[in-house]
Amino acid sequence: MLHTLSIGDEVDGVPTVVFLHGLFGQGRNFMTIAKGLQPDLRSLLVDLPNHGRSTWTETVDLVAMADAVAEAVRAEGTGAVHLVGHSLGGKVAMLVALRHRDLVDRLVVVDIAPGPSRDVSEFEQLLGSLATLDLEALVDRADADAQLQDLIPNPTVRGFLLQNLHRTDEGWRWRANLTLLRRSLDVVGGFPRPSGATFDRPVMWVVGERSDYTSQDDTAAMRALFPRAVRVSVKGAGHWVHSEQPEAFLATLRSFLAASVSP
């Protein structure tokens, strides 16, 4: 079962934007962007399986993730929605659009392409670093941050990952299913292309100017599945476009989503 968080009131005629986060993330990663879209747009922040407050599963399956998201959106009863997905969430969002075309009015794919990821070694290193923490001996989040400084020198990345750490009655625990995700990086890095499926509604493909997660070489694969895709590069942004350049990302998103959801 997927955990969702609604931002904004349900008002007739106000479209809903569904946000899907990336690997190790949570729906709340898009909180600032969702609030910035009010009052013109209502938002639904989704925790993907094995992330945040959503259910853990025995395996990682991108198609199953997409179907779970579609089920959660249909349960909202909002009809067609705008769908925004970053990185892993972008792959899931593309699969939702290809498999459940009636559910998506406009699609936004952030800094990922519909194909195998070029290199998952960074994620292997990050997951390995997090696994070194002894949760039973952990004092507090600051203690965890200090222990990870040498293994994960970037404070922004370290802080992002440590959002997954929370205190329970039994002690400190990870919200994300790190063990499963670590052994499933080949699945996370792949993309199960649906045979013959295309999505012919408007698509905005947002990439970070400084990111190497996508390249112009991915354009053909993107257009084969999404013939109306338009590529937008955000200056000064790396892979985490929405957190590194929030104002530019919000302005770009607002412009693209200006049209109402079609009946």
Give tens-digit pLDDT for 33-42.
999 999 999 9
Phi, psi of 28 (to 5 degrees): -65, -15
261 has a pLDDT exceeding 50: no
Q: How confident is the model at residue 200 (pLDDT cuts 50, 70, 90)?
A: very high
* Predicted pLDDT of residue 157: 85
Q: How far apart are CA 46 and CA 3, in angstroms?
A: 6
Q: How many Å apart are CA 94 and CA 73, to the nearest integer? A: 15
pLDDT at res. 53: 96
pLDDT of residue 259: 62
Q: Is the pTM of this model over 0.75?
A: yes
Model confidence at 118: pLDDT above 90: no
The domains located in the chain, with CATH, are 4-117+190-256 (3.40.50.1820), 121-183 (no CATH)
